[in-house]
Structure 1
Amino acid sequence: MMISVSRFGAALALTLFGLCGGAHAGPAIQTWSTPNGARVFYVESHALPLVDVQVDFRAGGAESPAGKTGVAGLTHALLDNGAGDLDEEAIANRIADLGAQMGGSADMDRASITLRTLSSAAERDGAVDLLATVIQHPTFPAASFEREKARTLAGLKESDTQPDAILSRRFAAAVFPGHPYGRLPTVDSVAALNRDDLAAFHARTYTAARAVVSIVGDVSRADAEAMAAKLTADLPRGEAPATSVNTVLPEAQTIRVAHPSAQAHIAIGQPGIRRGDPDFFPLLVGNYVLGGGGFVSRLTKEVREKRGYAYSVFSYFMPQRDVGPFEIGLQTKGSQTDDALQVVNATLAEFLDKGPTGAELQAAKDNLVNGFALRLDSNRKVLEQVAVIGGFGLPLDYLDRFPDKVRAVTAAQVRDAFRRHVSPAHLVTVVVGGDGDKAAAPRAEVAR
């Protein structure tokens, strides 16, 4: 597991709301490439004597070979369990001695490694040297591999009994049939992995052509160039993977999975949009009205406030490197499942037909614009945004233009964008559980 002084993992939220617009200008982003082809994105900030670094690789779960799902997560988790001539304990001690923090996360698109270090030359250079060793020369020790594999298997076996985890797996498979986004790790796929699989995955995906280095903080351009070069110098150049666009839309269906939980766990959705889609801003604003705005959203008003079917109901688009999902989610008593679904579908149908009202549109834009400053109020938050911009090829002035893009959205644009990306003919509904509600009729697993 990626470690730090406090052994934390810096999970990144790459949902549609990862960048909320506002009235302030974004940071000045400089960019270049290292000698072996890795892309670098840099923001200079001397407010604190700290430097934040994130190195992203196109090495997420979607890159796992067929039949080897789980290899991406295990590879990432074991990077700092042994590297170069250092074992796990030596790496942890070195991080503590430097006063640095190292973490990371892996999702379907990216494997990320983060570093926070003091900007003084000795500490900064030592921390960067250590991170470079971890990224470029992991050894995947046998004992660590077996331990992490066992931990992963135990987690998967436990998740196979949990309705939320079952829902996620069935929803992904139904929304993305035949696509890597629909293939999640299983007990069987992880059990079949060995250390050679991890080494081969690292050699293929942890390359300069797949790397993006983001640096924010108290460091000069010249020193940032040296840091980026050091972090990628020993990586093979490799080749950037081809960009693909998923054009497969599932047929509308309802999948019911038996589970003894009293609450039915429900997901409704389909493939939505990819990063950089021109409909991003209309969908962002419109989704705030539909289900992204918490207690002020239409779904909350109709499902929770008027009828009491659920404590929480939400919707979101998750733009990814390829077309990510649109999803509506809620939990309700098993006996209320069909009634709740009817209300959700009716609310969505009305929104697709008419779009937001003028008052709803203005409230959504005001909220998104006014929240901008909170998304850029620390170096680490700036780093996350810069990494998204660099990793997904967004314009360098994306943050500068965000407020005006939000303000410019019209009700007609929202309605038209939703009609392009959300269709009842392709909506998949997955219901897990609810059988424990005594008022609910017993049912076996069916798909229709």
Structure 2
Amino acid sequence: MMRAGWLTALVWLLALALPAQAVEIEEWETNEGLRVLFVAAPDLPMVDLRLTFDGGASRDGDENGLASLTSSALRHGTAEMDADALAERFESVGAQFSTDSLRDMAIVSLRSLTEPDWLDSALDTLTDVLAAPAFPGSDFERARRQALQGLQRERQDPGSVASRRFYELMYGDHPYANWPGGERETLEALEPGDARAFYERFYTTGNGALAITGGLSREEAEAIAARISAALPQGPAAEPLPAVELPEEPVEERVDFPSEQAHIYMGAPTLRRGDEDHYALTLANHAFGGGGFISRLFREIRSTRGLAYSVSSRLQPMAVEGPFQIGMQTGVDQAGEAVTALREELTRWHADGIDADELDASRENVVNSFPLSLASNSDIVGVLGMMAFYDLPLDYLDRYVERMEAVELDALNARLRERIDPDAMVTVIVGGQE
């Protein structure tokens, strides 16, 4: 336990002390076909690993919640060690092990100091888990109970209710409509064998990628990648997700809920990772609702009209078209007025675009905040994992600022009018009771 605490303290101190530096990415593929991205960080006596697999909730099929339960089950141990023994083995060498499941991807992460004995032990434990996860029935049942309890908590939270319904209406029969936490009926029907089959199908060398950063040489990183790759199941990449059917007309739904605040989501599928319009739309959205205090939505909806406790917008690019999403909270008695005002601002943004001053302010904020996204090992390995998963070019980071600087005002507003349709938005309002 003391080693784990020392590791955490050391990470924070070094992250605060080290300036942001250029990121030089090296790439290779293991013998088993696992793609690897590596960034050396010689000033840090630690290593961060992130495995990403095309095995998120969009791969659940009819078994909603299976991806999430499979991710949780990897922390239950192996045939040789239960969940407590697994946690103890990582903690004894100051390592941090975690798993996660999103809509697009499944994630397995490891952080360790580079002291040879400690790192070797942490890697041995990780590869034991990857080579032979146990999926024991008792732990699986406990994870199922926790998932069901999570669903119950979500039903009591108007924000979660609104988000779930928002995705259902936006995506219809598309896999992105799957709620990552699952459904009660499907969760209750799942068995450990289902998680094992999901793991063996989607956690494979051909369906994943490995990001590494830390105080390692290229030779040491290759050796680590080879150990991890050899432990994983071998198999092909998953079939691409189906295309998203974009809405052609507005959809609105009001959901009764016993709350004093109304939670409002408005948006539509818009952007996929790697889309060249990403840079223009990011700057346009920053001016509209993504820039905090300087954004139009904050200024007009919250400050001037006093209609929202919080209001913002964001773009969430994914493997296929992820949402442009506006989120707002307001009193239930003024929800209708707030939605009308929001639509007015959206229509004006679409028709008029943004002006030169808004572009300059947005670009300055986005460009100046970019180094903060690479300020620590965990930040870098997270970006590397994203790049590897979505197959972004290796110059993505090097040219990010350049591409933001190259966006011209007329082109930005043209992209905005082409990609955002205020007359085809999905709107969900949760709060208040008839």
Q: Calculate the TM-score normalised by the size of structure 2.
A: 0.93
1:379-398 equivalent positions in 2, closer than 5 A? 379-398=377-396
How far apart, in 2, do the equivalents of 1:420 and 1:207 lie?
38
> Contact 1:28–1:43 (CA<8 Å) still a contact in 2?
yes
Deviations 1:322-347 (A, max 9, x none): 11111111011112111111111111
Offset at 1:25?
Answer: 6.5
Q: What is the count of residue pairs matched by the alignment?
A: 416
CA deviation after TM superposition for structure 1 residue 426, in Å: 2.0
Q: Deviations over 1:45-96 (max 9, x none)?
A: 1111111111111111111122x11010011011021124121121111112
Q: In angstroms, what is the RMSD of aligned CA positions?
A: 1.6
1:329 has 2:331 as partner: no
- 2:27 maps to what in 1? 31
Could you tell me how far 1:246 is from its partner in structure 2?
Answer: 2.2
Matches within 5 A, 1:225-304: 225-244=222-241, 246-250=243-247, 251-304=249-302
Matched residue SS, 2:232: coil
**Structure 1 residues 119-145: Cα deviation after superposition (integer angstroms, max 9, x where no partner):** 122111111111112223110111111
Kindly tell me: are residues 63 and 300 of structure 1, through their superposed partners in 2, closer, same or farther at Cα, counting changes over 3 Å?
Answer: same
1:210 to 207, 210, 224: 207
In 2, the alpha carbon distance for the partners of 1:376 and 1:235 equals: 29
**Structure 1 range deviating more: 112-121 or 265-274:** 112-121
Q: Which has a greater percent of helix?
A: 2
* CA deviation map 1:207-258 (0-9, x unaligned): 1101111110111111111111111213232111233452402331110111
Q: One-letter code of the match for 2:175?
A: P
- Taking a change above 3 Å as real, the CA distance of residues 62 and 212 of structure 1, as seen in their structure-2 partners, is same
1:98-133 CA-partner distances (Å, limit 9, x unpaired): 111112321011111111111122111111111112
Of 52, 56, 59, the match for 1:56: 52
User: Per-residue displacement from partner, 1:360-379 (whole Å, max 9, x unpaired)?
Assistant: 10000001111122111211
| Maintained 8 Å contact 1:265/1:434 | no
Q: Which has the higher contact order (CA 8 A, sep 6+)?
A: 1
> Residue in 2 aligned with 1:10?
none
What residue number does 1:113 align with? 108
**Corresponding position of 2:405:** 407
Contact 2:77 2:83 in 1 (8 A): yes
Q: Which residue of 2 aligns with 1:19?
A: none
Q: Which amino acid aligns with 2:245?
A: V
Aligned mates of 1:295, 1:352 — CA distance in 2: 20
Check whether the contact 1:83–1:134 (CA below 8 A) recurs between aligned residues.
yes
* Letter in structure 2 aligned against 1:106: S
Conserved 8 A contact 1:55-1:214: yes
Could you say which residue in structure 1 is the equivalent of 2:371?
Answer: 373
Aligned to 2:12: none
Checking the alignment, whether the CA contact within 8 Å between 1:84 and 1:134 is kept in structure 2 is no
Describe the superposition over 1:268-324 as per-residue Cα deviations: whole angstroms up to 9, x where unpaired: 011010000110000111110000001110011110011100121000110011111
Identify the match of residue 187 of structure 1 among 184, 200, 209. Answer: 184
Aligned partner of 2:75 in structure 1 is 80
Q: Aligned pair in 2 of structure 1 residues 313, 405: CA closer, same or farther (>3 Å)? A: same
Deviations 1:156-211 (A, max 9, x none): 02212321111011100000011111121111121111111111111111111011
Q: In 1, Cα distance between the equivalents of 2:291 and 2:121?
A: 44
| Contact 2:48/2:112 (<8 A) preserved | yes
User: Could you say what secondary structure the match of 2:91 adopts?
Assistant: helix
Runs of 5+ in structure 1 lacking a partner?
7-22, 436-441, 443-448
CA contact (8 A) 1:267 1:330 kept: yes
Distance, in Å, in 2 between the alignment partners of 1:271 and 1:296 is 25
User: CA shift at 1:5, angstroms?
Assistant: 5.1
Give CA deviations for 1:391-438 in whole Å, capped at 9, x if unaligned.
111111111111111111122222222222211332111111133xxx
Contact conserved, 2:289 with 2:313, CA < 8 A, in 1?
yes
CA distance in structure 2 between the partners assigned to 1:73 and 1:369 by the alignment: 35
Mean CA deviation greater in 280-289 or 404-413: 404-413
In 2, the alpha carbon distance for the partners of 1:232 and 1:59 equals 17
C-alpha distance in 1 between matches for 2:411 and 2:241: 26
Q: Which runs of 5+ in 2 are unaligned?
A: 6-18
Deviation at residue 146 of structure 1 after TM alignment? 0.8
Aligned with residue 163 of structure 1, among 154, 158, 162: 158
| Residues 26 and 397, structure 1, Cα contact 8 Å, conserved in 2 | no
- State the match for 1:98 in structure 2: 93
**2:194 equivalent in structure 1:** 197
TM-score normalised to structure 1 length: 0.90
Q: Relative to structure 1, is the Cα distance of residues 211 and 88 closer, same or farther in structure 2, using a 3 angstrom cutoff?
A: same
Give the % identical residues: 37
Separation (CA, whole Å) in 2 of partners of 1:150 and 1:123: 34
Report the more deviating stretch, 263-272 or 414-423. Answer: 414-423
Runs of 4+ in 1 over 3 A off after TM superposition: 23-26
